[in-house]
Structure 1
Amino acid sequence: MLVNPDEPLDVQVERQARIIDALMRRANRQDDVRPSAFRAFQSAIELQEKMQAQGRDLARAVSELETVRGEQERMRKSLVAALSSMEGGFALFIDGKLELCNHLFLQLFPDISNKIDTGLSIGRFFARLVSSKFFRSADRNLATLPTTLEKRRDEGVITSVMIEMADDRWFQLSAQHTSGDNVVLLLTEITDFVRRNRSEKESLIDRQEDYLKAVFQTLTSGVCTFSSRGKVLMHNGQFRELLGLPASYVAQGEPVTALVEYLFANGLAVEGDAVNIEAIYRKLVTEGAFRQRVRLGPERVLELHMHEMPDSGYLVEVEDVTLEARATETLERRVMERTAELTRANEKLTEEYEKKARVEEALREAKDKAEKAVSSKTRFLAAASHDLLQPINAAKLLISTLLETSRGTDMHGMVERLEGSFRSTEQLLHLLLDISRLESAAPDTVSPLVVNLTSMMNSIHADQSLVAEQKNVSLKMVPCSVLVRSDPVYLLRSIQNLVVNAIQYTQPGGRVLVGCRRRKGRVVLEVWDTGIGIPKRDQQRVFEEFARADGEKLAAGVGLGLSVVERACRLLGHKLSVKSKPGVGSVFRIELETVADAQAVNEPLSLASNADDLLENQIVLLIENDDDVLFGTTKRLEQWGADVLACRSIDEALTCVEDMGMAPDIILADYTLDNGDTGVDAIAKVRKLTKVHVPAILITADRSPRVRAAGLTYDISVIYKPVKLNRLRPLMAWKIGQQGDAEARGDTKVAGDSAAGAFSVWPE
């Protein structure tokens, strides 16, 4: 490009002229006019025309620019004239530099007017204002105003400062960012407003002073104010009257020392330690307040309150408390008299308390002895249960055997009576042991499990049908196939006690009905009878130990059965209730929690309908360390057709099995053996020796959780002493039958044990 369009027009024109001139000279030197030379010449002509056109445009632009400059200058002069006619001061800063400033600024600060020039920075502008002798003060530091404006430039907020001038004139200086770095300053006079406000304030102070004086005069207490130098400022008439002061001592400007000296000279006495005016003032300065009760003469008591004032002066308030002091003295005297009376009464009460403490100590010792006796009784019954049940179990087995062998003889009736008496003794022993265990309230007394009510109700019906038949009472059970959560031993014992009571207290020809009613999430087991009924006053008392309702003469017993039911239901969380009407009958209810989709503790007794045949010629390994129990059990098993290997110890049992050369069909073992051995150990060693999972039953009087846990762990059924033969025989038959089915399938373990309840604990 020959010409740079960015260069000034005169430079472009000059350059184009030189180019044209060079082209013309070159064209004149040519001998002939060639096409290229002609084209160059033609281009130069066109370029010259363009340059002329641009020159004309440049002339017009320059003319227009001059016109604009003239307009701008006229506008500036008009703006300056307008700003000069404003009542307030005005200053404009563009890009941080002073651009305009009207004459008011110059008039207010004539000593620095020659220093306020265009181009002055805003910081230096404020610095020169402050340096003026006409500037008196401002409510803000003007030196920091530029920094404040810079911080708030984007907020569009107006920053105001109040300025006091030397001639008691007041102005408000307002500053605001407009755009970019442009700042506008406005100076507005507010002298009239400030003076009017000052006048109103002074008037208000005068009114407040008058009001304060009026309040001073109407106060019931005496008030006087003193300056920081101890001069009287103001007082009310009550102050002079209470202290009995002449008017000259409380005149304005009088020193406080003269007033105090006068008071001391006229009978002023300070209670407690003597205090002089210097000590009082030091305490006032230290704590800000002072209070002291004084006496003026023999009759009057005054109270002085001193408070420090904001100007380091202080206010003294005097109040007549003569009546209050007299009342206090009277009260103190009465308190002393009353204290003496209370001291004497306290001494008497102390003696009585010591006597009561001695009595309470004696009662506590008696209570401890009683609790120890009860605890000892409970522990004794719990510990002796095995020793008590062992002979009971042996006697029961022997009586059962004797009853079978005496059939058809003259002795059979006597043996039946003996068996009935022994059954009553056994039932009473069970009740006593149950109460002992339930009384202990140990955490493992009850063990809730999932129980099938059908099997339990059928078992009770089978046990009590003969008793009901002998008394000519109709006993009917309505089966209920529902699963509940309860302790199988104590639930069976509770239902059994209710059924036994219903049969005992129902006249011959009466009826007893056992059934269930389903409710949402629960089931209520009910025992109905048509017996003699219970009066309303006795319906709760019948659940106490040894309690029987009035008029109960039909049944024998000591009244422990319902107490066991109440204690067991309370521990298990079952709701127990009774409803009865004398002469009509009674209904006892036990409300239980139902369980869905769970495995219940089932009784396999109903599966062994052919128990007599299954025990015939079966080899039973019996391990029992009590000779009487061993003898009685052996005789009973032999009557059932079984071949019995009777052993007193584990070693003897293992020797018998080795001599026989084969595994027994079933093992019956007592849990507690000699030398610390257990029936569980015996069963495990026999199974290990024979390499056969021999069916086994533990027969024990130990009801502790460890026995139950051992039965579950080693696949052993547990049955408690004294043994109920009508339960033992079908249980043995069922387990032997299950073992036979397992062997036929080639299993080494009893099939279906966990499903059918072979590891369950069987109540006696």
Structure 2
Amino acid sequence: MSMVDPSDPPLVQIEKQARIIDALVRRANRQSDISPSAYRSFQSAIDLQRQVAAQSLELETVRTERERTRKTLVEALSSMGEGVALFSDDRLNICNDLFRGLLPDISHKFVPGLSLSRYLELVEVSERVVSTDRKLSVLRQTLKVRQSAGATTALMVELSDDRWYQLSIQQTSVENTVVLMTEITALVRRNRREKEHLIDRQADYLAAVFQNMGSGVCSFSAEGEVMMQNARFREILGVPLTLLQAGTPLSTLLDFLRTRALISEDAWLHVDAWRDELRRKGALVRRVSHGSNRVLDVHANVLPDGGFLVELKDVTLETQTTELLENRVAARTAELTRANARLTAEYEQKARVEEELRLSKERAEAAVSSKTRFLAAASHDLLQPINAAKLLISTLQEATRETSFQPMVKRLKGAFSSAENLLHSLLDISRLESADPEAVSLMAVDLGALMESVRDDQSPLAARKGVRLTVVPCSLFVRSDPVYLMRSIQNLVVNAVQYTEPGGRVLVGGRRKGGHVVLEVWDTGVGIAKKDQARIFEEFTRGDDVQLGSGVGLGLSIVDRACRLLGHELSVRSKPGCGSVFRMKIALVDGVPIRRKTQSAAADDGGQPIDHIVMVIENDEDVLYGTTQWLEQWGASVLAARSTEEALAHVNDMGIPPDIILADYQLDGPDTGISAISAIRSLTGSDVPAIMITADRSDLVRRLGIENDLTVMTKPAALSRLRPLIDWTIQRHAASVEHGRSHLRTQLQTKVGGDSGL
């Protein structure tokens, strides 16, 4: 173990080694003989002395290098342009002459060992220091907090003779701190000059703005003396320039205004009144009269130094305009008051007129409602006797076929047909005018079937007129009301036949055009002049060449009303002497299968007898009698009943179901043809075919017909279609029954075959 600590400073080590050598020499002198241990001790002393000599030489070398380094550092610091001081362990180690010379009154105290805190205290009391941007005590506190290496703290110091330095303190390591005094006098002076220049420019700018303001402005000191004013202020007040020189008291200005009667309010002529209100409110606003015909707005505001700023605005024109507007408003108000009185009287008159119109409208609506109710009743009550008359006339025609009464009955039938057509036209127009939602029922309609039905109905008329009627087959379905669409087509065909000379031709067909079907009725008739083509759709409009008894001019009017209600586009093209073409554009229905060509139920059956048992259920005596006579004339066995109860009694008496049922929809009371048909089918256990003949054309009846598997025919029934319809309905029912039996036999055979296989 070494006797000298290597970490001790060299001087301490040398001192310790010297003491050890002296102790060893003394011990060697005390011994009388030279023993091996003494020799070793002496040898150790010699080694120690040699080490001491070597370390002394090394120490001298280090001391020499240190002095050389310090001298070099002093020379470097002396050559710097800044005052520099080095503090080691918070004590002054070294500084340059510039650092000492900046503060000559305290430079003698800048000796090695001076603490940094004491240095800052000396700077704070130096006579050369004029000011600092922060207190040095704050700087000392900052140094205590920021002890990390690299931390820098700086402040600005103003010295006498207008010299400026930046005092920077930077801790370069844990032990060392560097203090720099950097001169920034040139920078501060340049910034000062630039600031003063900017202030001068700003003052010039403000002065220019001040002089060019639209309002008059004058500032007064706290003592009430003029400081500065613009030309507009003098112009508004009308005072000379000498009266508004800097230093002129406010009282002098007010005296001038008072003596010339430029301001009439005495309160404004006292300086104390101004100051009192400005002191209390900080601002003052007044509108005053200036002279005899001018008005000024005065605004006064307190300035930060205790003075005040006065702003004047000439509002004479504004005041006059306001007064003029107020006068106009007053006059306009009076005029509006008078107009309001007139309008009130007119409103009261209008209210009385509107009340009368309301009462008239209610009476008109009541009349329309009464007409609607009448037509609703007439639709059934009028068509019932017509239906009975048609049956009786048809029966009479067959009975007088080979007699001298045949021509008379034929004319009777023609006259009755004209009356029937007229009644149908009147009822159609009334229903179309009523705007009843149930007036039309839009559905998918087989256009070809309707066209064929119209051909069958109007062929006799065309044949009598000598006109060839041709209908082009069609397999399309359209969206329309079947009743009104058929009536429209029928009226167009009748109109074409009536206006076509014998030997001419009428052609009916449909063309597919996009998502629509254009139904066209062509004729080679007399044609229509251009000026009359819009008038022909009015009621009771007829051509001049139509024979008497061929109609009253309602057909085309019904077509026009029906097309507008159904949304069909109706148009006409015609030329006098060349014929006409009427077109209806109807929406096409997609997804409906193409109609197959079947034998029409309305086709002529060649006059074969009706060899069937027919149940007729009708509450009207005349219709029941006429239907019975007409059926019996054609060979049918008829069971006549007025109600469901009578019909069931006939079935019970006969013991078998009838071959077909012809029933009216509306019977007496709540009884209906639907309930009668359902009761007969339930009693017999058989799906008896049925045709319902009714004057009710509502959608409800059509739905009930579909739901109960029966055919609906409107009154008055077209006898030319009724007779073959009876045979067709019975044959369809028989075919359905046979198909069911065949299917049942097939199932039984399959079951029996399957059982035998087991």
* TM-score of the alignment, normalized to the shorter chain, above 0.5: yes
Q: Deviations over 1:573-595 (max 9, x none)?
A: 22111111122211110112223
1:240: which partner in 2?
Answer: 234
Determine whether 1:465 maps to 2:486. Answer: no
Change (3 A) 1:275 1:255: closer
Q: Which amino acid aligns with 2:579?
A: G
2:177: which partner in 1?
Answer: none
2:427: which partner in 1?
Answer: 433
Change (3 A) 1:136 1:300: same
Give the paired residue count: 636
1:678: which partner in 2?
Answer: 672
1:411: which partner in 2?
Answer: 405
- Bigger radius of gyration among the two: 2
Change (3 A) 1:502 1:201: farther
1:181: which partner in 2?
Answer: none
Aligned positions of 1:214-293 closer than 5 A: 214-225=208-219, 232-245=226-239, 250=244, 252=246, 267=261, 292-293=286-287
1:515: which partner in 2?
Answer: 509
CA contact (8 A) 1:505 1:554 kept: no
CA contact (8 A) 2:604 2:720 kept: no
Q: Which amino acid aligns with 1:508?
A: P
By how many angstroms is 1:307 displaced? 7.2
By how many angstroms is 1:572 displaced? 2.2
SS at match of 1:444: helix
Aligned-partner Cα distance in 2 for 1:192–1:228: 39
SS at match of 2:438: coil
Q: Deviations over 1:543-576 (max 9, x none)?
A: 2333446776777433222222122222222211
1:623: which partner in 2?
Answer: 617
Q: Deviations over 1:189-217 (max 9, x none)?
A: 97755654553343233223223323433
Change (3 A) 1:665 1:314: farther
1:577: which partner in 2?
Answer: 571
By how many angstroms is 1:459 displaced? 1.0
Q: 1:667 aligns with which of 661, 676, 682?
A: 661
CA contact (8 A) 2:296 2:316 kept: yes
Aligned-partner Cα distance in 2 for 1:430–1:322: 86
SS at match of 2:649: helix
Structure 2: gaps of 5 or more residues: 1-67, 85-94, 117-122, 169-179, 744-758
Change (3 A) 1:403 1:194: farther
CA contact (8 A) 2:618 2:641 kept: yes
Aligned-partner Cα distance in 1 for 2:469–2:415: 23
Change (3 A) 1:389 1:576: same
1:728: which partner in 2?
Answer: 722
Q: Which amino acid aligns with 1:732?
A: I
Aligned-residue CA RMSD (Å): 5.2
Aligned positions of 1:587-606 closer than 5 A: 587-599=581-593, 606=600
Q: 2:313 aligns with which of 314, 319, 327?
A: 319
- When structure 1 is superposed on structure 2, of 671-680 and 598-607 the one drifting more is 598-607
Q: 1:718 aligns with which of 685, 703, 712?
A: 712
By how many angstroms is 1:443 displaced? 3.4
CA contact (8 A) 1:527 1:587 kept: yes
Q: 1:528 aligns with which of 522, 541, 563?
A: 522
1:539: which partner in 2?
Answer: 533
SS at match of 2:648: helix
Aligned-partner Cα distance in 1 for 2:392–2:195: 122
Q: Which amino acid aligns with 1:570?
A: R
1:208: which partner in 2?
Answer: 202
TM-score, normalization by structure 2? 0.70
Change (3 A) 1:326 1:683: same
CA contact (8 A) 2:498 2:546 kept: no
Q: Deviations over 1:39-75 (max 9, x none)?
A: xxxxxxxxxxxxxxxxxxxxxxxxxxxxxxxxxxx99
2:133: which partner in 1?
Answer: 136
Q: 2:561 aligns with which of 564, 567, 575?
A: 567
By how many angstroms is 1:469 displaced? 0.7
By how many angstroms is 1:486 displaced? 1.9
SS at match of 2:313: strand
CA contact (8 A) 2:631 2:638 kept: yes
Aligned positions of 1:1-40 closer than 5 A: none
Q: Deviations over 1:609-657 (max 9, x none)?
A: 6857886321111111111111111111222222111111111111111
Aligned-partner Cα distance in 2 for 1:551–1:87: 133
Aligned positions of 1:129-528 closer than 5 A: 136=133, 164-165=156-157, 195-225=189-219, 232-245=226-239, 250=244, 252=246, 267=261, 292-304=286-298, 316-330=310-324, 332-333=326-327, 336-337=330-331, 339-341=333-335, 343-344=337-338, 347-348=341-342, 350-352=344-346, 354-528=348-522
SS at match of 2:217: strand
SS at match of 1:362: helix
Q: Which amino acid aligns with 1:663?
A: P
Aligned-partner Cα distance in 2 for 1:672–1:163: 116
Q: Deviations over 1:61-95 (max 9, x none)?
A: xxxxxxxxxxxxx99x99999999998999xxxxx
Aligned-partner Cα distance in 2 for 1:300–1:458: 100
Q: Deviations over 1:148-197 (max 9, x none)?
A: x9xxxxxxxxx9999655569999999xxxxxxxxxxx999977556545
Q: Which amino acid aligns with 2:568?
A: H
Aligned-partner Cα distance in 2 for 1:275–1:630: 119
Change (3 A) 1:619 1:550: closer
By how many angstroms is 1:727 displaced? 2.2
Aligned-partner Cα distance in 2 for 1:533–1:678: 49
SS at match of 2:687: coil
- When structure 1 is superposed on structure 2, of 368-377 and 427-436 the one drifting more is 368-377
Change (3 A) 1:414 1:607: closer
Identity %: 56
1:708: which partner in 2?
Answer: 702
2:641: which partner in 1?
Answer: 647
CA contact (8 A) 1:452 1:602 kept: no
Aligned-partner Cα distance in 2 for 1:285–1:642: 125
Change (3 A) 1:628 1:289: farther
Aligned-partner Cα distance in 2 for 1:170–1:443: 104
Aligned-partner Cα distance in 2 for 1:319–1:715: 98
Change (3 A) 1:240 1:656: same
CA contact (8 A) 1:451 1:601 kept: no
Aligned-partner Cα distance in 2 for 1:259–1:696: 120
CA contact (8 A) 1:468 1:475 kept: yes
Aligned-partner Cα distance in 2 for 1:536–1:577: 13
Aligned-partner Cα distance in 1 for 2:391–2:83: 130
Q: Deviations over 1:311-335 (max 9, x none)?
A: 9987543233334544554554455
By how many angstroms is 1:344 displaced? 4.4
Q: Which amino acid aligns with 1:136?
A: D
By how many angstroms is 1:495 displaced? 0.9
By how many angstroms is 1:279 displaced? 9.9
Aligned positions of 1:717-756 closer than 5 A: 717-746=711-740
CA contact (8 A) 1:505 1:555 kept: no
SS at match of 1:518: strand
Q: Which amino acid aligns with 2:463?
A: E
Aligned-partner Cα distance in 1 for 2:280–2:231: 30
SS at match of 2:622: helix
By how many angstroms is 1:448 displaced? 2.1
Q: Which amino acid aligns with 2:233?
A: F
Determine whether 1:634 maps to 2:639. Answer: no
By how many angstroms is 1:365 displaced? 3.5
Aligned-partner Cα distance in 2 for 1:285–1:619: 123
- When structure 1 is superposed on structure 2, of 214-223 and 576-585 the one drifting more is 214-223
2:12: which partner in 1?
Answer: none
CA contact (8 A) 2:157 2:166 kept: no
1:62: which partner in 2?
Answer: none
Change (3 A) 1:136 1:722: same
CA contact (8 A) 2:602 2:722 kept: no
Change (3 A) 1:744 1:329: closer
Q: Which amino acid aligns with 1:319?
A: K
